[in-house]
Chains A and B, each alone.
Chain A
């Protein structure tokens, strides 16, 4: 078990592609960190540099205090779970898990003890004599995790371990991974492009985009206080609505002017923060869950009523999603399924202005 330090790390592939452009990250002992971001943002590259499978072009990586830039994977004391499992097809499940221990010259009894222990944690005891071909996807996934657990390494590395599983199994294995981490507490770095996986698993989430880190923080912080437009749009599903707007002073208040002559008041406690943007073009951000029907006895402060006409209505069961077009910008709201909503009929909605965001369109950063 160990902390991991990533300092100014750069990865440039042959041909000049910069996949990772100088990232800094400190990961504490026992921490579960998730790297998340869209396809091609450099998550796998970062993970593979930590594993030693990819050379580091610049900066340094330290595991447990020692710089590992020039140490081959086998001496880094890490374990990795691959997206397609990478189980050895010619070995039984038992041998797949025992292989790393055998290479490290553990004695037979200790190997057996560890493999059986891991098999018990993962509930694969009855599969030990099978070959990987005779396993289902979820079972292979467990074996791949077992192979990591038996080693008792300093760090676990996961590269999209669940993306080959069907939706239901994915949710189940997600819980399993969390449970395993709570049991063994090994420092874990987990790569995914699925923000829900990131939110549910992570102690801290690292959002990457185009080879740089956009923001690092606990899931709730990323949700409530995103630092950039990218993070705001990436975390949360359905994604946050972004509406072009103007900030204007008016009768002792600060107002947000949206298309279609909609005017929303900025809550009092935020006025000083936004004052310098008065008279300027901004981007108004609000999550669909903060754009709801008007509820009786709703005590949330800073609710602003507005009337909008949905064009598409999607009943989801526990809620209904309505989509509205505001002069070319699509926005969505989440309303109570009991509210009768149909396309073309105006709805009385309320925006929770306490949860609003303003973005500077010049820098794409939060104001």
Chain B
């Protein structure tokens, strides 16, 4: 301890003696050089991320006409509003259900693909990626047609096999399910491709070792494949959760928040309040609501990922 103290004071004590030299030394320090080289990137990030975020926070504290500071007023009003509480609930329901379904379906597809020979695999992989590649606004329009009350091809098929028509977008619960169906359809290929890559990265010998150790196919999946993929699973789920929470186009095109504002999610509601209804500060407050929720999830997920990647090869 005593030694530490003396060395710690020695530096600053000598520094004023030759200021020019110290500055030179400062410029030559590795961390300084690293900082200077990263500066352009830091500037870009600050301009594109920090500034808009800071500005959004600033906006959310203004009144409707953006003339006076009202602190957390917008948030108070929002939390008192039944519609907004519904939006929170609907956003969570939408994002969590959709992400879970995408992850399960994506894993199942990846698993199927992984077990067909490489030659046939390519074409299937290409086909299954299509929903993800098509611009969502366009494909959602296609789905909208299929859900349309008078022309619905889905209902036509249902009727053909003797089932009654479904009010896809007309009834709140069906509308919620429809939005989730389209999101799952468009987002599953992302999970599939990530999981396929992860499956390929598990060495075959681990499965062979497990088979010899006495594992059935299921046990191999449960005790070897899934634990080996935990990092990829965490990161894809986190990423998808963020993107799905912020999803805008599907709700906007398919239901536009209806019926009776019951299918709004944060982004579509923020647009509705901020742009369509002209209350920009309150719209900013709506969109800021996602941030703490996601930040907490991200913190725990990334901490787990970090820890595991340190422990495993």
Residues of A within 8 A of B (CB): 51-53, 72-74, 78-80, 82, 84, 86-91, 99-100, 103-104, 131-133, 147, 151
Contacts and interface: CB of A to CB of B under 8 A. Distances in A.
Given A82-B205, A84-B205, A103-B219, A132 B212 contact: no
A99 to B, nearest CB: 5
11 contacts: A78-B212, A80-B208, A80-B209, A80-B212, A88-B223, A89-B313, A90-B230, A99-B223, A100-B214, A133-B312, A133-B313
B39 interface: no
A105 to B, nearest CB: 10
B206 A73 contact: no
Nearest to A103: B214
Interface in B244-264: none
A89 B312 contact: yes
Contact of A74 (B205, B212, B311, B312): B212
Contacts of B228: 89-90
A196 B227 CA distance: 40
A293 to B, nearest CB: 50
A53 B211 contact: yes
Contacts of B306: none
B227 A53 contact: no
Nearest to B216: A74
Instruction: Give the 8 A-B residue pairs with the shortest CB-CB distance, closest first.
Output: A100-B213, A86-B205, A86-B209, A103-B214, A90-B227, A74-B214, A73-B211, A89-B312
Contacts of A84: 205
B213 A103 contact: yes
B215 interface: yes
A88 B206 contact: yes
A145 to B, nearest CB: 13
A81 B211 CA distance: 13
Contacts of A147: 209, 213
B211 A86 contact: no
Contacts of A78: 212
A90 B208 CA distance: 16
Nearest to B213: A100
B181 interface: no
B19 interface: no
B138 to A, nearest CB: 42
A53 B213 contact: no
Contact of B211 (A74, A90, A91, A132): A74
A329 to B, nearest CB: 43
Nearest to A72: B211
B20 interface: no
B224 interface: yes
B15 to A, nearest CB: 42
A161 to B, nearest CB: 13
B214 A86 contact: no
A179 B215 CA distance: 29
Contacts of B120: none
A79 B211 CA distance: 10
A90 B214 CA distance: 18
A90 B209 CA distance: 14
A89 B214 CA distance: 18
